[in-house]
Structure 1
Amino acid sequence: MDASTARAVLHYVLAGGCRIAVTGTAALDPSRGELVLLPAAARHRISPLPGLRGVSPPPPSTAAGGTGPADPADPLGPAVGIAVLDGPGGPVRLLSLRTGYDPRAVRPLVAGLPRAVLLERRRVEAAPLLRDTLRLLAEPGRRPGPGDLLLVLRAFEAALALAAGPRPPGAAHPHPGIGRTVAAIETRYAEPWTVDTLAREAGMSRSSFTAAFREAVGTSPARHLTARRIREAARLLAETGLPQSAVPARVGYRSRVGFHLAFRTAYGTTPGEYRAAAPRRA
């Protein structure tokens, strides 16, 4: 990873319960079905409950489906791993995920989050993309594959959008309207958004919204929406068999010409050429 890439860690509890003590913030006690997101990969220690000596973080178990020893060039270790801890109430099993991401693309979401976020089981279960990706990565006997990095990135994006979405009463957000709008773009990019409808989503006037969005995200709402749509289009072209002609509408474009121009501007190639090169990239 280069210097412009940020790192994140996710821990999904498959069995038992544990304590995740994060440097600089309160410890979290997730149980089965709950997910802890560390959007900036903060240093942390994990131990079974109640408070036995922890590890920092637990080493992935290749026997349980992990991806093998950590890469010495990457202190975060492999992208996917299963950790097993011995606890007083039985073994604790964790699916541990590590990914890199472009911080510029999600700046307002990450900026508004604490160092560690606990996503309760009901919230994870209510998010099909996140839930199904986690289940796929945790499937018993699953062997690592070339698509793991993309799967982990999708899980991170889904968890990040969920964490930055509507919060319990009393939970503050430094930019509640902007955070809500970025979460909407992240998960509902195919809707026919305009700057006016995005401003209404944020509960702000058009002029105030545009200025606040640019300050928080570093680009205009329209550019951010385009980037999200084109990113999803690239994923569909590279990872699925969806007909190329169906991709523009799937990501929110009503004009194929507009889609082709936007895609070529972003990737320097046509959608067809991008799809043809996908197997070589994998």
Structure 2
Amino acid sequence: MDVLSDAITAMRNGLPHAARTRMHGPWGVRFPPQEGAGCHVILQGSCWLLPADAEPVRLGVGDVVFLPRELGHGLADAVTTPLVDAAPEYDDGSPVGRIRSDGPGPLTEMLCGAYRLDQARLHPLLAELPAVMHIPARVGRHPSLNGAIELLGRELDTAPGPGADAATSALLDVLLLYILRAWYEERPTGWGAALRDPAVSAALRAIHQHPARPWTVQTLAARAGLSRAAFAQRFAGTVGAPPLAYLTWWRMTLAARLLRETDLPLRSVAERSGYATEFAFAKAFKREFGTAPGRYRSEPA
């Protein structure tokens, strides 16, 4: 298990979608708020990103922008161009859409992706991200991200072949992971530091691989190769929560998924979440979610 992959998997709801966007100026499109995240990659030309609650951002060829909490935004050839609602055209339930504008001006071509993520319980790794993540194009930087963009662009730019839907969804997932990896590679604090710190990442891997084990600060410190005090301070300083608080949060997140997505009896959910009895699990779950496990399972998602 690795923490970044786990964080995305735990938050995902449904499959991602993509659109190949070709716009001749003047043009401006508006994307409504959604329960998820969005991204844009500029393949040709340039445009302005118009966030809901931030200053406009100029985007050029090769730039990537990711909006982890989709509050609604616009894209336009100029900040003064009026916006119309984006209306991607999809064929037969395909995850690939098309957005076009046939004006007389210069061409801007983009890849646009949309991810359905559970915003109600975002993993801390995602919760700390800014509303707008701009990754400018830089020669020689982030080759894996650039490779994923190229592969996805080819898939969207050709007539659908066998397995096109599966390939597109898989490439969108890879694109999301590489965007986050590229972002955190350049961030020396918070989760960027946690993912690069051998001691902290060892403890995180242990928690994610074996969440049901009776971990203590001492046993996690042993995994990290540090003293108890040094480990606790280093973990909290990078992750933003004490080790056992993060362990409880992750256990409850997994338990909530098991309750919603499986028919496992409460006893089994409790055991997989690291609790010896249903009573202890139910008490911890109610403290975290404000409702009993059985009621949470029966409520609509």
Structure exhibiting the larger radius of gyration computed from Cα positions = 2
Please give the TM-score of this superposition, normalised by the length of structure 2.
0.48
If asked which structure has higher relative contact order (CA below 8 Å, sep 6+), I would say 2
Higher strand share: 2
Please give the TM-score of this superposition, normalised by the length of structure 1.
0.50
